[in-house]
Amino acid sequence: MLQNKANPTINKSTGLPRKRFYRARAHSNPLSDSNFPVPISPSHVDYSLHYPQSLPSANRTDTFNKIEFADIGCGFGGLLISLATLFPETLMIGMELRDKVTEYVKERILGLRVASPGQYQNVSVVRTNSMKYIPNYFEKGQLSKMFFLFPDPHFKEKNHRRRVISPHLLDEYAYVLQVGGIIYTITDVEELGAWMKSCLQSHPMFEPLSEMELEADPVVKLLSSATEEGQKVARNGGQTFQAVFRRITPPS
């Protein structure tokens, strides 16, 4: 705590990082090369460093201790923090390209672990380019939920290939999602919402959740309220567009 008092980036009363010291551009170019380590395969990731209480040994490989939720482009971690207490027994990770934002989420999680002993041990973050390296982090059929909240719309048609939901990327997401796993998307850009929904509808390995299933899913309510972007849209009286789809086995 003495270190926190001398550190202006940490709130003295809460022990949590001050967001204003970690501000970055709203989005990054996912096609550019960045300087960070990339694991050769999921087996080369030491997740015990991320979840020291859940995975105390780097050699533990039992299936009950694998990451199940991935928040792609997790931003400042609002959704992850909400999910961590809603699903305390489920390991989850945020994947973020921006270095300052990733560092903020790391510090936020560490601060919450200190402030609330026994909680938030199931959540972590990694700096990576998820449009390039998803298969490097997750095995086939490992994930049960993937989240894509308020992604960069890349308005220009020539930049649509940079969108995080696209036909070829859905092939990769289908690979790491277990059958029955769910993709959650939301945006405040109507054209992007229609694009993501169309991509998912056209893919043979995804089907939409019914209205009844959406109503019963507690996660759906968090999509528009847990993140900084969603809260900003709500404050401004904006509209959001969701697409929530289930991974299925395509008909033979």
Predicted local confidence at residue 69, as pLDDT: 98
Give catalytic residue positions.
152
Predicted local confidence at residue 36, as pLDDT: 80
Decide if 149 contacts 71 (C-beta within 8 A).
Answer: yes
76-132 residue pLDDT tens: 999 999 999 999 999 999 999 999 999 999 999 999 999 999 999 999 999 999 999
Residues of the chain with pLDDT > 70, as a percent, come to: 83
Structure tokens at 45: 């990731």
d(CA 67, CA 64): 9
Residue of 111, 78, 113 whose CA lies nearest to 94 = 78
The pTM score is 0.85
d(CA 70, CA 169): 15
Structure tokens at 36: 């960070």
Q: How far is CA 138 from CA 40, 69, 107, 158, 238, in A?
A: 11, 11, 24, 30, 35
d(CA 44, CA 137): 9
Across the chain, what does the average pLDDT equal?
87
Angle at the Cα of 177 from the Cα atoms of 55 and 195, rounded to 5 degrees: 130
